[in-house]
Every structure is written in structure tokens, then in C-alpha cells.
Amino acid sequence: MTAVVYSAAPLNDLRAATVRTRVSVPLRFADGYAAPAEVMTFHGLTDGREHLLLGLGDWEQVLLDGARPPLVRLHSECMTGDVFGSERCDCGPQLREAVEAIASTGGFLLYLRQEGRGIGLYSKLDAYALQDQGLDTYDANLALGHGEDERDYAAAAQMLCALGATTVRLLTNNPDKAAQLAALGIVIEEQVPTGVHLSEANSRYLEAKRDRTGHTLELNRAAVVRPAKTVAGRTPGHAEVLARVDALVPGLRARAEETEQLRRLPAETVQELHEAGVYRLLAPVSVGGYGLGAATYGETVRHLARACASTAWTAGHLAEHAWMLARWPRKVQEEVFNSGLMPLAAATSAPVGSATRVAGGYTVSGHWSFASGIMHARWALLAVQLDGVRLQALVPVAELELLDAWHTDGLRGTGSNDLMADSLFVPGYRVMEWERLTAPDNPGSLIHPDPLIHMPMATLLNLVAPAVALGAAEYAQELFRNQLLVPREKNGTAVRQADAVLAQARYARTSGAVATAQLHWQAALSVLPTQPGSPDAMDEAQRAGFRLSLALSAEAAQDAVRLAVAGSGGSAHRLSHPLQRIQRDVGVVLNHPTLGTDPIMEQAGRGLLGLGFTAASF
């Protein structure tokens, strides 16, 4: 690789700095994530402090190519957060996140010796004491005779100029960093937000940063995340998982309308799903998952749908995508399974994007729709095509353009928005042939002993929509029953709809439709492997019966919802009534490709007749 000349003309009369030393340092964080870094020191920094610059990823090639500016993070020293893991701020998680993000694309992390927003360590701890008395982080600094933020980024601009990095993509939520660098002559081509690292201890601190200094922090989208609870390290079984999910149902029902209005899951819901271990259901035990079977997964989605179809849909796909990530090679798994929490990833293949091979990887372009769960995901799995070969690209969500396109009449809370990329560079190790990922002997099968890792992807994908439809229908039946049995006063007399013959008949028909849906659902689950994670493959007749039963279950569930709504009178069409939301949600579910009636009936008929499938994904 050609060496970079470490010199640049000073900008805006800024004194030139020069590289003093450059040394290789292998980094390793407490969660196991590792990355090589080139650590540089400097002569001539304007404030005389010992600031550091870490070159991460293929930063030299990025500077030489000039096609895309390096990703840069200005990180102010925080001993309490960076070293001791304090949760009173978000500095430690931001440092960890920044190293990974920059290493993946090439760029620099500037570690600036400006503790406590420039007031020093002791003063910062004094400010903590004042915060404990009720002041926010800025007022505490002012009370100590300091400024709200005394940091100066002239030295940062000097370091960047010394490397010739005068145009950058800046990784920050802080508008002051971008403004100061721009005033010093550094061109900010793009401001890339960091994640929102919310904890119980730092919520007031983050709110103050958002409200006082305009940090781009969407706290209503963030969850205070804690790992799923286990008993003495034991992986929960089928019954325990469903008991955890059932305990969530009252809260999910209470937030169902909020979920629809937000057009994504509320932060509290995301947190509860993490704590219940829902995202861990399918992932291998060796990466922190539960490695449970397809039946447990399907039943979990069904039980969640008895509370909120959007929540069930989103959680089901996020859990499945964590399992999909475990099918990738080791390097990817070391990158994504590194925080103790399941990585949340959205996946979309509609329509397929394009890929071009370049040095070190690929560039991908496309406009993808229906990215369910993208509002909560850190990663995106994107379908792309190169020379007629289907590939999947794994991309950090922060590198994609998110389009607010999910304006629908049903499943509104899934936040299934669109994604765009234009010639986005993706390292070669994060692009795989789809055929290899979906194969029983996928790369992950060589890493994990869990038999479930061999299961065809379509098996799990095909469970989600009918599970949501059935759970939602069971909730509709419950609502209909409760409505019929509630006494209402009419002409001074308490009456119940349930005492009317017509209401009784309508409820019987609704119950029959639900029972039909349940029987078809059980028929589908009966052909799945009996042991969790068993790799036993279904023969063609079983696969045909599996898909047919799921389709018929979903159709019967939709009939049940229609009957429940029709028998509930005009009040069921008020926007405040959950039945109308269930009807709209199930209507969208039945339009999903995995429940396309005509192709399912054709392929199922071929399988049952022994004629062989003509659709490879069936």
C-alpha cells in the first residue's frame, strides 16, 4: 500500500501540526470486540495537550482513493465512562460503537483530552454531586463557575489536516462539533448520528443534551436495554418462554394504540422484548441465544399477536434475523454478536438491489421496501444481485438512507420503512451468496453445533404471518366474547348481547372459524421436528402439507376476525376500538407473499401429488 504523506496546508490560519509518532495497537473491548489501530501523536497542537488520533480500518486507502471521505469521531476523554463503565453518561458505549463503525469503513477516532466537556475530572465529579441535588449537567457546570461546554476542537482540526483529511463524514450527535470543525475549515460532507445509549442512570443527562444543546437524540426510540433474565445461566424452555411472553400481554395491549400512532414499537416494548429474551429464541447458545425450535418460535409470535399484531410481526422477524446472522462466517459473527445483546437486524429483498465488485468488497445501490423492524435495528440485510447471482449484503443502518414510507392501514406499528443506498461500499466479508447462506451447510453450521442452524430459512419465515393472523384472531374472539357478556342498561333494565339468539349464533360461527385456524396451525406444527433444533428435513409431501395448513389457518383466522367485527355493531369501527385495528392488521398480513393463496395451492398440490415443486423457495 502506498504511504500517505503526513502534511497539509493549514486551514483558516490554523497552525500546522505534524505527526510525531505512529504505533500499531491491537484494541480489544470488554465484550470481546477487537480491531487493529494505528495510534498517532502530534507536534504543534495548539492547546499543548496529549491528544491521540486512531487510524481504523483501511484508512490509508480511503484517503488515497478520495472517493468517499473518512468517517471521523471526535471523542472527548471520559475516565468514568470509558474506563470504569459509568452509566451516568453514554461515553463508554459511544466509544465502543465508534471504533466498530469506523473500522468497518475506514477513518479516524480522535481521542481528545478534554474530560468533563473541558472542565477536568475533579470538576466533573463535583458537577455530578450538584446533579444529584437536582441540577442538570449544564447548570451544574455553570454553578461551578465553568461554561456549559468548554471544549475547543482546533487541535482536532490540526490533526485531521496533518493527515490530509480535510473533508470528512462526522460521527456525532453534537451540532457544536460539526460547527466548530466547519469554522476551522474542515468540510463536513455528512453528519452521521451515533446510537442512543440510554440507561436508567443517564436519561436526565441525555434529555439535557437534547433539549439544551440540540443533540440529535431520539430518546423516544431508545430502549433502556438489559440482558434477558436467566436462572443460574440456564436456557429457558418452551413453557418458560411462553410464560414470559404471556406476562407481557397486558402491557402490550395497553400500548397497542400508541404503537400504531408511532408507526414503530415504543421504547418500553423493545426493552421488554429484550428482557423476556424474545430476540434470543433462535440464535445459537454459543452467541447468547436459546437455540429453541421452530415450534417455540411460532408459538411465541402467536402469543404476542394476542396483544398486538405489529409487535408480534416485528419481534418475530427480528428474532429470525438474529438466527440468520448466525449463519454467516465467523468474522461477521464476531462483529455483530459482541454486546451481550442479540443484534437487531432488518432484512428486505423487495426489490433486489444491485452490486458492483470493487477493491476490498462491493458497492451496492438500491431502493428497498418493507424493512420491518428497521426503526429498532442496527443492521440491515439487503438483497442485491451481481451478474445474475443473488447476494445478501450486511450493512450498518447508520450508513443507509431511511425513508419514512410506511403509511398503511394495517401493521402500522411495524415501521416497515424503505431504505436507499447509492454506490455504498460494503466490505467483501459482509457480502455472501444467498444460495450459500440458505444452504444446510452454511458457514455458521461449521461454527455452531445447534442443529437448528441447518434448517431452511423459508421454514421460519413462513411461520410468522400465519402465527400473527391466528394470535390476532384469538384476541378478536376474546374481545367479541367480552363484549357480548358485558351487561348494558337499556330502558332501565340490564341486558346482555349474549342473551340474543343471533348474537349466540354469530359467536358460535366466530369460534368455529378460530377452531379451524387452530387445527390447521397444529397440523402445520405437527410436521416440524419434534425435538428443538432437530435438523430432520421434511419430505415433499410434508412440506406441501406444512405450507397448505399455514395458508388455510391464516384464511380461517381472517374469517374469524371478520365475523367478530360484523357481530360487534357500529362501535367496533371506532378508531379507539381494538377490533378495527385487528381487522386492518390481519388484512395486511394476508397480503404477505408467504400467504399468497394461488401459488401456495399450486405448489402444495404438486407436492401432494408427487409431481415435484416448481418454486425453489417453497
SS (H, E, C) 115-152: HHHHCCHHHHHHHHHHHHCCCCHHHHHHHCCCCCCCCC
515 contact partners, CB below 8 Å, separation of at least 6: none
Q: What pLDDT score does 536 carry?
A: 54
With CA atoms as reference, report the closest residue to 203 among 227, 225, 221, 219.
219
CATH class of the region 18-114+151-221:
alpha beta
Specify the fold of 457-608.
Answer: Butyryl-CoA Dehydrogenase, subunit A; domain 3 (1.20.140)
Query: CA-CA distance, 293 to 158, in Å (whole number)?
Result: 56
Give per-residue burial for 211-243: e unless 16+ CB within 10 Å, then b: eebebebeeebbbbbeebeeeeeebbeeeebbe
Q: Is residue 530 within 8 Å of residue 590, measured between CB atoms?
A: no
Grid cell at residue 447: 461454527
Q: What pLDDT score does 457 carry?
A: 85
Q: What pLDDT score does 30 carry?
A: 79
pLDDT, averaged in runs of 10, over the chain (618 residues): 40 80 91 87 95 95 90 95 91 91 92 95 93 89 92 96 94 92 92 79 84 77 46 74 94 95 93 92 92 94 98 97 95 84 91 95 96 94 96 95 94 96 96 93 89 87 96 96 85 81 94 97 87 62 92 97 92 86 96 91 91 81
Query: CA-CA distance, 110 to 52, in Å (whole number)?
Result: 6
Q: What pLDDT score does 339 carry?
A: 67
DSSP 231: B
Round to the nearest angstrom and report the end-to-end CA distance of the chain. Answer: 48
Q: What pLDDT score does 533 carry?
A: 46
Q: Is residue 260 within 8 Å of residue 412, measured between CB atoms?
A: yes
Domain assignments of the chain as residue spans, ordered by start: 18-114+151-221, 223-449, 457-608
Q: Return the SS3 of 606.
A: helix
With CA atoms as reference, report the closest residue to 415 among 278, 536, 270.
270
Q: Is residue 103 within 8 Å of residue 57, measured between CB atoms?
A: yes
Query: CA-CA distance, 514 to 167, in Å (whole number)?
Result: 61
Instruction: Give the 3-state secondary structure of 267-294.
Output: HHHHHHHHHHCHHHCCCCHHHCCCCCCH
Query: CA-CA distance, 353 to 472, in Å (whole number)?
Result: 33
Q: What pLDDT score does 72 carry?
A: 96
Classify residue 250 as exposed, middle or buried by CB count within 10 Å of its CB (0-12, 13-18, 19+): exposed
With CA atoms as reference, report the closest residue to 41 among 29, 31, 49, 33.
49
Q: Return the SS3 of 77.
A: coil
Prediction pTM value? 0.68
Classify residue 12 as exposed, middle or buried by CB count within 10 Å of its CB (0-12, 13-18, 19+): exposed
At the fourth CATH level, the homologous superfamily of domain 223-449 is Butyryl-CoA Dehydrogenase, subunit A, domain 2 (2.40.110.10)
Q: Catalytic residue numbers?
A: 149, 151
Q: Helices (H), strands (E): how many in the chain?
A: 20, 16
Strand order in the sheet with 379-386: 401-403, 417-427, 361-371, 345-358, 379-386, 389-396, 431-433
Angle at 476 between CA 470 and CA 482, to 5 degrees: 140
